[in-house]
Structure 1
Amino acid sequence: MKKEKNRVNKKQKLYIIIASSLAIIVIVTSGILWLVQSGKINANKDYKEPLNKNFSFLVENESIELKNDNIFTGQYEIYQKLLKEFKNKKSTLSDPYVVTNPFLISPQTALIMFNTTKKEKVTVTIKGKHNDDLTVNFESSKEHILPIYGLYGKYTNKVILTTESGEKKEIDIKIDDFAPTENAEVLENKIENSNGEFYFGTSSLGTGNIALDNYGEIRWWLNIGYTKGMTMLQNGHILLSNADNGPDLTSTSGVVELDMLGYVHKNYEIEGGYHHDGYELENGNLIILTSKRGGGSLADYVVEVDRNTGKVVKDWSLKDIALKVDPDLLEPGEITWGWINSVFYDKNTDSLILSLRNQNSVVAIDYQTGNIKWILGEEKYWSSKFKDYLIKGIGDDFIYPQGQHSVNILSDGRLSIFNNGYNAYKEETVSCKSLKNNASYAMVYSLDLNNKTAKVDWKFGGKEYFSYALSSFTYSTNGHRVFNSGWHFTDKVNYEDPACTQFSNDKYDAYIIDFDENNNIVNKLKSPESKFEVVKANIYNLESVSVKPKTINVVSNYKTELGKYLIPYEPDKYEELSESEALEFKNSINQEIVFEIHNNKFSFVGYYPKDTSVNVTFISPRGKAYKYVLKESGQDIKDFINLSKLKSGRYYVFAEIDGEKYNIGNYIDIQ
């Protein structure tokens, strides 16, 4: 049974049409995977909770479920199901249980499961296309649950299992998927077999996460958009941005910790969003680049997040720190003055080293006090009040940072960066032609902090490697370093086209160059996609390039636990309505308004004018109702409402716009 729609005044109807139309556009153009509506059902059929007869109208009407997507429970249920099937199958080496892409987001991986009659080690050999087999030793066990990484896409991979007692089994693992890009072009290769040491890259302008071998072959990728910087963690996991929109257009809502199978172990929500980079301290805490909510600027705020709770335990506002030195440094409305894109903690000096791209400077601040220690940048980008902090470059070949990325302090105290060679100070649109003679370099500086001087010890690059943005210079095992010209203009760029600018140009690629400990190039690739950052690591031993490097010679059986969603601030507060107040929604206007929910984060998809007020009320058939404020008149709409305080159960969703009540025809289930 459906109620006849009541009349909607013209102003409210216009707002709803605008909001719903924009919501549809957002969903279609951004390719959002969340299922906003999972299909119509008769809600009364599967409703099993106690029912307050006064609220039977909720279950009598046709409703659509807003699926409360939760990657943690979804992946953990898959894991439990796989274990159960494995035990039921009683698989042996002669007939192992093989599952490709077990957790759905890492297509070129698999799990191989089988039992042996006694505890013994197993060696896995993944046959390479170029006489470059990947060999891995697994721990002694009777029950073998082996994660398989580094498979080729759109290819039938041959994998050989060899037990300690000498038994062998060769199996074929067919991978149907291939990354939405091409293999990299090999320009130079002196590495015969990397044995799992791949070039891991991130990009927001192509395949979000990918790993290439020294032959340019794609050996791993994720089919979900975890982009920007990456950090290899001490526990062998990887830290990436999550895929949720943050509070501004260039941020995500936080970071995720996951393994190579694509299993997400933790999601850390960051109140100001995640910008560009993160760093793991030796105690496990995370240093995250973000923005301060309500701070009036972007990407100039740094927080330390407790690894276990997700709470912020320390913070540094670069804007406040700089304005303490000179209150007049910034012009009114200058919101992107700093744009921190890289962070490193130097334990020898207890300092945070920060790349302030839009100041063309690297800045060191005291971890404890936040005070500035030194600045490597040209004097013209700072006022005279900063002169005591400025490091002066010496030597005929000295080049100051410009638009730089990827800061690092080496064990001997030297500073390395990727110097983009692009003036990002008070950035404006410029023609491609004006950038034709710019040059980018990987650079290593010697710093004399007593005399406030610096000199260039080593550099590599030039015009042919110019990258106006992105890019990295990172360190691997055995003294290897990887140069990544990540937003390189291709030879197809028409520099004479007046419409071509650094922002509009869509012809870019990336050069990835591997140097050994003697500065010899041992591998050189040309990727068809841009790369924000590239890190060389062993796919079975990511911790080898973590803040405390560790070599893993024997890999453990795969096991995992339910992932955690960690949020550093309190869930939104609600107003509990009386039964009579809740019953006022019985005759609400039927109107479709698009919302979405995942991980108990409930958000509106679309737009409302500034002077509109929006409340959302969740009513349970038990008669309980809870009202949340989504938008106050004159204020911006909230990014989302955190519903973690709601008790488990089913709730029907009603919107209240400028006092008018609407039944949007949806319900949610809170676990």
Structure 2
Amino acid sequence: MKDNKRKVILFIALVLVAIVIVVLAIVFSKKETKYEHSASKNVVASLNANSQAEVDKLIREDLEENKHTLENAKIYIDPYGNSPLSALIAFKTDSKTSVKVTVKGRHGDDITSEHKEAEYHYIPVYGLYQDYENKVEITTGTGEKTTLRISIDKIEGLPSMKVNARTEEAYKDGIYLISSPISMSSFGIDSYGEIRWLPSERYYHDIEVLNNGHILIGGNEIADNSLASKIYEMDLLGRIYNEYEIAEGYLGDFYVKSNGNILVASKKENRATYSDYILEIDHDTGKIVKYWDIIEALRTIDPTYGNDLPEGYFYNAGIEYEESSDTLLLTYWGGEFILNLGYSDNAVRWIFSDPKNFNTSFESVLLKGSEGFVYPKSMHSATLTNDTLRVFDNGYSTNIGEATISNLAGSHSSANTYKITGNTITLTTAIDEDKSLFSYALADYRIDGNRETILFGRELKNVDYSKNVNINEWSPLTTRLIENVSGKKVLDIEIDQATQFVEAIDLTKNVNFDFETAGAFTTLKPSLKEDLTVELKNQIKSATEKVDYNFGYSKNYIEHDIAFMYSDEAKLILINDKEEGTVYTLKVKDEKQSKKIVTDLSSGSYYVYILENGKMFKTDSKIEIK
């Protein structure tokens, strides 16, 4: 009897051992790491409270100290507080090895990227879903494998999507980055209409993908003239690599040349119109290396050109540099024309516009259509390949002020392709969605081989053409994103907000990450300054009255909140404990003031004094220049 009991006990023990072995085998073969977003909030919050450089340092020091293995990889969701649908995975391997990462798609649309050999690995993960437990598979070149589960909380207030049509030929190697007008968020979606990238800050104007996998995108900072003033180079983690400040601001589209330099449509100081002053900004220094004055170029044809033009006449809707012809191609929505201009000689090659928009002086440079040719109205995003011109025709005239909806029945927009022969032009194709879409103000038209991506960015939804209301006051607005491959529609997505530009980004390539020091560049010139004289030092010593002015310092310039009268004059004085410093002009009498002082002072701690209308004042401000 005892022998039978022993046999039964031994059998049960063997079964239990076998079960344990099987379970352990499954666990170690999968090496699956469960990671919940909620568990990471304290870590992320502590990181986001720091500057980018401090976040970099914390991440690197943690891995160097703790040497997390792949099985126990450290996962940082949105480490820079600027991209909640992205994460950074940090782990160490025993030797240098490559890494393959696959973000599992909800619709079978997995995205796999390869990462270069390293021993200490910092792997960016892009394209995560919100309100979802994401599965991310990691395989090293030495054969280690693991699966991470990354839960992202629900994000409120996102635009909704409706996929009207989709085929398997729709873009699948990445996502569509879509920028929005001022006060709206930009975002990235896949071909299923799922939001896969979302910056926490507001970025708008253009988005351009760089060869290194980073993006250039407009920031929400505003110049004194109310134009956008900054462009950022960042990765999809939201880590900033460079920022470029344009002193007189810019509007709309910008373009990246093959050498990395950036073309922007800026404003000439003291001129009413904007976007008629094109700048080329050096990618590595942020300095202006070349400029084109569009009004002056057009005045070589008509010396009176530009007199009394409305402020928005040159509203920038497209900048391109055509390397083969060494020309700029500029699309002006406000003036309803495309200008082809010599890059090197600033000479007008041709203009494409309804001849009614220009006087007879321009007849020799206007492209002409044959009898019955229908000229486009306001336009966006022109591109030129040899003799083929592509442009989005908004179908809305800014010149004649077609502003009342009741006058616009039957209007439609289209993406047009033209052929240029000499000084004649013919329409070859028009993508107009059966003339059912009317995006009067915003649009984009991108070409990549046989793939065309068209953004009807300000489509009037459920429009009632019997209404006697201004078109700019109509609501609701939508976007239609259309993609064609070899002339066949492969995607049609409706987005419930207005948008501005679209650019596809390949998430299978150029997704390596580094801790490169961020650069901050400006086209602002150092502010006018004077020596700190003995007389001024004596006035500082005897100053008794204090003014409640606030100053802040960041990246070579000082900002303030002072509202001077037009007739005031003032100087900003910075002085250290050694009585060394300088004097900057803060406000010139009877001139417009600036909120920024660009300083080239050496590093140190400086007290701030104000010489206002001849009287010296103390402040509570102290500025640390690094």
TM-score tier (shorter): 0.7 to 0.9
Which residue identity is paired with 1:460?
A: D
Correspondent of 1:605 among 561, 569, 575? 561
Correspondent of 1:490 among 458, 461, 471? 461
Counterpart mapping for 1:380-459 below 5 A: 380-394=356-370, 398-410=373-385, 412-425=386-399, 428=401, 430-448=403-421, 450-459=422-431
1:252-279 Cα shifts (integer Å, max 9, x gaps): 2232211122121112222321221221
Give the 3-state SS of the residue equivalent to 2:198 in structure 1. strand
CA shift, 1:496, in A, is 4.8
Alpha-carbon distance in 2 for matches of 1:273, 1:594: 24
Counterpart mapping for 1:114-153 below 5 A: 114-153=91-130
Which residue identity is paired with 1:626?
A: T
Alpha-carbon distance in 2 for matches of 1:340, 1:429: 19
CA shift, 1:640, in A, is 1.3
Give the 3-state SS of the residue equivalent to 2:105 in structure 1. coil
Which residue identity is paired with 1:282?
A: S
CA shift, 1:106, in A, is 1.6
The question of whether the paired residues in 1 share the 8 Å contact of 2:90 and 2:123 is answered with yes
Unaligned runs of at least 5 residues, structure 1? 1-70, 542-551
- TM-score, with length taken from structure 1: 0.81
Give the 3-state SS of the residue equivalent to 2:300 in structure 1. helix
CA shift, 1:521, in A, is 1.4
> Whose radius of gyration is greater, 1 or 2?
2
Please say if 1:99 is aligned against 2:68.
no
Give the 3-state SS of the residue equivalent to 1:503 in structure 2. helix
CA shift, 1:242, in A, is 2.9
1:351-390 Cα shifts (integer Å, max 9, x gaps): 1111122221111011111111111111111010000011
Alpha-carbon distance in 2 for matches of 1:346, 1:531: 26
1:307-347 Cα shifts (integer Å, max 9, x gaps): 22222222111111112211223333644332232111112
- Paired-residue identity, %: 26
CA shift, 1:405, in A, is 0.8
CA shift, 1:163, in A, is 2.6
Alpha-carbon distance in 2 for matches of 1:607, 1:179: 38
Q: Which residue of 1 aligns with 2:610?
A: 655
CA shift, 1:245, in A, is 0.9
Please say if 1:347 is aligned against 2:323.
yes
Tell which deviates more after alignment, 350-359 or 657-666.
Answer: 657-666
Instruction: Give the direction of change, closer, same or farther, for the CA distance of 1:495–1:641 in structure 2 (3 Å limit).
Output: farther
Q: Considering only aligned residues, what root-mean-square deviation do their CA atoms show, in Å? A: 2.5
Alpha-carbon distance in 2 for matches of 1:110, 1:231: 22
Which residue identity is paired with 1:404?
A: M
The question of whether the paired residues in 2 share the 8 Å contact of 1:429 and 1:501 is answered with no
Which residue identity is paired with 1:584?
A: Q
Instruction: Give the direction of change, closer, same or farther, for the CA distance of 1:134–1:180 in structure 2 (3 Å limit).
Output: same
The question of whether the paired residues in 2 share the 8 Å contact of 1:417 and 1:443 is answered with yes
Which residue identity is paired with 1:480?
A: R
Alpha-carbon distance in 1 for matches of 2:471, 2:156: 27
Alpha-carbon distance in 1 for matches of 2:271, 2:302: 18
Which residue identity is paired with 1:363?
A: L
Alpha-carbon distance in 2 for matches of 1:433, 1:248: 34
Give the 3-state SS of the residue equivalent to 1:170 in structure 2. strand
Counterpart mapping for 1:443-522 below 5 A: 443-448=416-421, 450-461=422-433, 463-476=435-448, 479-491=450-462, 493=463, 495-498=465-468, 500-517=469-486, 519-522=487-490
Alpha-carbon distance in 2 for matches of 1:192, 1:379: 41
Higher relative contact order (CA 8 A, sep 6+): 1
Instruction: Give the direction of change, closer, same or farther, for the CA distance of 1:605–1:177 in structure 2 (3 Å limit).
Output: farther
Give the 3-state SS of the residue equivalent to 1:577 in structure 2. coil
Which residue identity is paired with 2:151?
A: K
Counterpart mapping for 1:225-244 below 5 A: 225-244=202-221
Give the 3-state SS of the residue equivalent to 2:298 in structure 1. helix
Which residue identity is paired with 1:539?
A: L
Which residue identity is paired with 1:198?
A: I
Counterpart mapping for 1:539-550 below 5 A: 539-541=507-509
Which residue identity is paired with 1:469?
A: A
Q: Which residue of 2 aligns with 1:208?
A: 185
The question of whether the paired residues in 2 share the 8 Å contact of 1:377 and 1:391 is answered with yes
Q: Which residue of 2 aligns with 1:535?
A: 503
The question of whether the paired residues in 2 share the 8 Å contact of 1:342 and 1:354 is answered with yes
Q: Which residue of 2 aligns with 1:665?
A: 620
Instruction: Give the direction of change, closer, same or farther, for the CA distance of 1:506–1:599 in structure 2 (3 Å limit).
Output: farther
